[in-house]
Amino acid sequence: MADHYFSAEPTSADVRRTVEAQIWGKDYTFTTATGVFSRDRLDRGTSILLREAPAPTSGGTYLDLGTGYGPIACALAVEDPKAQVWAVDVNTRALELTAENAKAAGVAKRVHPALVDDVPADVRFDQIWSNPAIHIGKPELHKMLLHWLARLAPGGVGWFVVGKNLGADSLQRWLTDQGYPCDRIGSAKGFRVLRVTATNEDPAPS
């Protein structure tokens, strides 16, 4: 069976290359590889997310959900020198690349690549950033989002990018129905950028 970018242990040969990207006005060179998401470039959805959403600067604990090779995690840590960034993925090769790219960006001490179960249960996030893996299917997507949104700190914010043709508008309505007010803050090239706001209550993690 062919690897998916959400395969836990890619079996394809680990063929590496570099890609160039500009994020929030800064130039990056990332190492990518076969078996990870968008290995040939910074994907369009992530580019739109990082263009439409403001760079954080106030310090905090952030989650990059579905980090891939780590472009969002690295950029968050670079932009916010006081930030601690958890870079979560199910793909172990992606986590290895994230660690390598964080080191190259000079932020390895503040970027924490981790499998889902390796994030300490008491960690709360001031912000969640994600180009979520829609192709895992709606039930799994909803389960994943509820799990992590429950770990937003009171008043925390989630930033998501989802393709319009992949259900962005219905996802926006569903998130609001789940008690997470969700606004569309941008729309470009078939993608919606959504901002989700946590309530002021501190929910227990799911």
Model confidence over 97-139: pLDDT tens digits?
999 999 999 999 999 999 999 999 999 999 999 999 887 888 9
pLDDT at 133: 83
Could you tell me what percent of the chain has a pLDDT over 70?
Answer: 88
Residue with tokens 């300490």: 120
Mean pLDDT of the chain: 89
pLDDT at 201: 55
Q: List beta partners, residue 183.
A: 195
Among the residue ranges 5-9, 51-55, 136-140, the one predicted with the least confidence is 5-9
Compute the average pLDDT of residues 200-204: 51
